[in-house]
Amino acid sequence: MEVIVYIIVGILNGLFSSGAGQILIFYLIYILKQDTKKSREFSLSVMPIISIPTFIYFFSKSDINLITCLIFVVISLIFGYLGNVVMKKMNNNILNLISGLFLFILSFYSLWRLK
């Protein structure tokens, strides 16, 4: 079962470049009954590594501005670290609620844009 989930996560990451981490977190928390914070830490550790092939492919096939990417990476690293510090102090239920709300809002927005 785990191998199938990891294959799905890899495919989703390659296809959409988003959502795969949330699927992994859902699987770890609700199916494997892992601790919420440890599941998120695991996802944060794994997702950048499995995103490397996707990055290489897209970077080689498009005209992405390297300077813009580097600026985004630096800003994301700083605020990713700060977000991790805040996550460690939050209640697991609140953390899951916020994550679920973001997914719901993004999903609703995506469906609304299909019209």
Name which of 106, 100, 80, 94 is nearest 37 in CA terms: 94
pLDDT at 80 over 70: yes
Tokens representing residue 50 in the block: 């499995």
Domain spans, the chain: 2-113
Q: What is the pLDDT of residues 42-63, one digit of tens each?
A: 888 888 887 788 778 877 888 8
* Amino acid present at 42: F
Average pLDDT over residues 7-24: 76
Query: Any alpha helices (H) in the chain, and if so which ranges?
Result: 2-16, 20-26, 36-61, 66-89, 92-113
Q: What is the pLDDT of residues 89-110, one digit of tens each?
A: 999 999 889 888 888 887 888 7
Q: What is the pTM of this model?
A: 0.67
Helix axes 66-89, 36-61, angle to 10 degrees: 180
**CA 85/CA 45 separation, integer angstroms:** 15
Burial group, residue 41, by CB count within 10 angstroms (0-12, 13-18, 19+) = middle
Vertex 57 angle, CA 53 and 62, to 5°: 150
